[in-house]
Amino acid sequence: MHKKSFLILALVALLTLTLGAPAGAQGVTELNIWWAEWDPANYLQQIGNDYEAATGIKVNVVQTPWGGYFDRVATEWAAQGTAFDMVVGDSQWLGQAITEGHYVDMTEFLTSTGIKDTVTPATLTYYGEYPSGSGSYYAYPTEGDANGWAYRKDLFENPDNMAAFEAEFGYPLAIPQTWEQLRDIAKFFTRPDEGLYGIGVYTQIDYDGITMGFQNPFFAYGGDWYDAEFNALGVVDTPETVAALELYKELYSYAPPGTNNAFFAEMNDVFVNGQAAMIMNYFAFFPALANSEINPFAESTGYFSMPAGPSGERYAALGGQGISINAYIDDVRKQASFDFITWFATQEVQASWAALGGYTCNIAVLESPEFLAVAPFNAAFAETMTFVKDFSNIPEFGQLLAVVQQYLHAYVVGGEGTAEEAMTSIAEGMDEILVEAGYVG
Amino acid sequence: MSQVNAQRGLSSRQETAPPTGRRQLSDMRIVQLFILPTIILLILMNIFPLIYSLFLSFTNYSVISSDPPVWVGLDNYTHILSDPDFWHNFATTGTYALLSVSLQTIVGFALAMLLRSKFAGSGIITTLVLVPMMLSPIVVAVFWRLIFNPSYGILNPILGFTDINTSPEWLGDPALALWAIVIVDVWQWSPFVMLLCLAGLSAIPEYLYEAAAIDRASVWFQFRRITLPQVMPLLLIAVLFRTIEAFKQFDLVQGLTFGGPGDATETVSVELYRLAFQGQFETGLSSALAYIVLVVIVAISNLYIRALNRLREG
């Protein structure tokens, strides 16, 4: 009888210890990070394996296909769930996540640890800060990304092409410094009889493709989606932004036929199959172009960052994500998440992250000769990350995006109306949403 | 021996007889017990979501928000019905349905007439003609996107457009994009109309044609007074199904044009998808739009069913 009681007591004690363990300060044995299904998430898993080797805490990077990623995270937010400790989320999510209390405020953590100063200011602003300019941060910039350009060096450096270009346009054929030069080069290389076209630009209507592509000249020409008081009228529809849209439409006229709904996959496709002399794309998709098994022009593929607008300003549409901590996990797991980010943000780990193929936002790593030399597009990437700019991140961003997408696509691809009408319609549509949401009085 | 066996059999039946409680289960009760799981599943999977989405259509609610639904009465319906963009979506859907269903009816009926008489290989040809409707719409959309591609697609050269500079860009031209979707839909679903028409044609008694021939009725007269009236009920059913599907058209549009260029091919279902998902998550508004679509489909179906009943009675 005594023996039986002892066994039961021992079992109860064992169960209590086992179940109670996570509640202890030292008890976190696993951390779950949610991210979309793509190569950088695999790199993060490898970094997580290093963390497990160093601390004994297992890191699981749970991947969801891009198409359903936001839906899955949003559903977990609505349920105030704890299925993930950290999430690598898009910059546009910040508004909703923060106004509804889904993310932990990381301002004190990022400031007191000095991590805030280790990343490029633009990435901290767009991946982590909400509201803009508030100095409140909710994410550590993890995967920096933005639009850049890939081009065919063999075409650009061909003596016949160089001579012909200079004869036609009056200046040497080289990497374009302005959007007008980019247009000239695109026009020059558009030779349908040879199956060659000057350029590939984003035109996808489905989600945010054409908006992301257009933002590059739009910002460089002095445009913005709204001002500090959320006024879209008179900000979106200026003569400069109209000129930017006309230029983007002209660029599209030099694109391979059939790219009327093209995004990152189609850009790489037209480049790899030799249809385009240069393409815009997110840097995250350039590794494929550097691979000679995928790109027959890999050896002669060069990369450059966004050209300047009329006033010399340069902007690149932002991609990428920052890592945030789930507000609904307990304090112990929050602390364990902070510990992971502290370790992840160290220069040594960021260098490993970059070496694996992750796009670090760490200033020291971005400037290091090792990083600049490890991939042919890294120099352009490092330069680009100093002048990135994002679309809106307020909770209504989805509605705003839908308006912009529709009118841009109708004008650029469908040829409906004029650039001025398109920009006016966008401004009015955005204004209606911003007024209805209470941003504009 | 047999008597012993018989007694054993009797006693065995008595031993295995069910207990009194179970014997009270009536046939009706057994039927109910079998139906109950289906009823519960139907209520959970169909009836509840239907009623809940009706409730949501009167609220301001986002499924990804932690805020509960806020009752707004008829605001969502008023907003939809007073928004010119939604009317544009309805007009696009209506135009698409009209073009698509009309052409499918003509092509499907013509195919049925051609394949009506038996000839060598008619079975294989009929089976091959049916293949498109067995394919997934999204797969169909993907390979038709390649066919339509002005750079390397095969359609333009087949149509005689060999100069890439003047070739039509089917999916990028607002004047052609809707037609491109109609062409694909007709290609995929005409066989369905053909199948139903074939069933109708094979049921027409041969003696009707023999009697007409004796009366020296022309082929056109036979077609108009025998073939068409006999096939009409099944043809109307085919048209009814295809109209309902056309009003719900989503996957082909999403796979071919995503509603573009601009909103040139944006059907109601595509707009509904964008409202309900894609960063907007306007659950209340999208529920209201879904109910409006449902009402339109029910109304059109009713018209067809009345026409069908009139045909049967007449």
Q: What per-residue confidence (pLDDT) applies to B69?
A: 94
Q: What per-residue confidence (pLDDT) applies to B151?
A: 86
Q: What per-residue confidence (pLDDT) applies to B258?
A: 92
- Does residue A316 register a pLDDT over 70? yes
Q: What per-residue confidence (pLDDT) applies to A19?
A: 45
Class of domain A170-315+392-436: alpha beta
Dist. CA B93–CA B293, nearest whole Å: 11
**A177, A307 Cβ separation under 8 angstroms:** yes
Q: What per-residue confidence (pLDDT) applies to B24?
A: 76
| Residue B272 distance to chain A (closest CA, Å) | 13
Q: What is the torsion angle, in degrees rounded to the nearest 10, for the CA atoms of residue A84, residue A88, residue A93 and residue A95?
A: 80
pLDDT band at B312 (very low <50, low <70, confident <90, very high): confident
SS3 category, A282: strand
Mean pLDDT within B265-288: 91
Q: What per-residue confidence (pLDDT) applies to B67?
A: 82
**A30, A60 Cβ separation under 8 angstroms:** yes
Q: What per-residue confidence (pLDDT) applies to A7?
A: 55
Dist. CA A199–CA A267, nearest whole Å: 9
Q: What per-residue confidence (pLDDT) applies to B117?
A: 84
Question: Are the beta carbons of A74 and B153 separated by less than 8 Å?
Answer: no
Domain residue ranges of chain B, discontinuous segments joined by +: 20-48, 75-313
Mean pLDDT within A57-69: 91
Q: Give B24 or B21, the one with higher predicted confidence.
A: B24
The torsion angles phi and psi of A63, rounded to 5 degrees, stand at: -105, 140
pLDDT band at A132 (very low <50, low <70, confident <90, very high): confident
Dist. CA B172–CA B153, nearest whole Å: 14
The pLDDT tens digits for A283-307 are 999 999 999 999 999 999 999 999 9
**B212, B261 Cβ separation under 8 angstroms:** no
Report yes or no: A399 at the B interface, CB cutoff 8 Å: yes
Report yes or no: A318 at the B interface, CB cutoff 8 Å: no
DSSP for B148-175 reads: H-TTT-SHHHHTT---TTTS--TTT-HH
User: Which among A78, A260, A402 is the nearest to B63, CB-wise?
Assistant: A78
DSSP B203: T
Structure tokens at A349: 């780990």
- Does residue A23 register a pLDDT over 60? no
**A233, A427 Cβ separation under 8 angstroms:** yes
Mean pLDDT within A328-353: 96
The pLDDT tens digits for A247-295 are 999 999 999 999 999 999 999 999 999 999 999 999 999 999 999 999 9
DSSP for B255-286 reads: HHTTT-STTTT--HHHHHHHHHSTTT--HHHH
The candidate with the shortest Cα–Cα distance to A420, out of A234, A217, A242, A236, is A242
The torsion angles phi and psi of A191, rounded to 5 degrees, stand at: -135, 80
Residues of A in contact with B164 (CB under 8 A): 192, 257
Fold (topology level) of A29-145+318-389: D-Maltodextrin-Binding Protein; domain 2 (3.40.190)
| Domain boundaries for CATH 3.40.190.10 within chain A | 29-145+318-389, 170-315+392-436
Mean pLDDT within B218-239: 93
Structure tokens at A206: 């489905």
Give chain B's contact residues with A (Cβ, < 8 Å). Answer: 63-67, 148-153, 164-165, 167, 169, 171-174, 254, 257-264, 274, 277-282
Dist. CA B77–CA A253, nearest whole Å: 41
Show the beta-strand stretches assigned E in B34-160: 59-60, 70-71
Q: What is the CA radius of gyration of chain A?
A: 24
CATH of B75-313, one of 1.10.3720.10, 3.30.420.40, 3.30.365.10, 2.40.30.10: 1.10.3720.10
Dist. CA A191–CA A198, nearest whole Å: 8
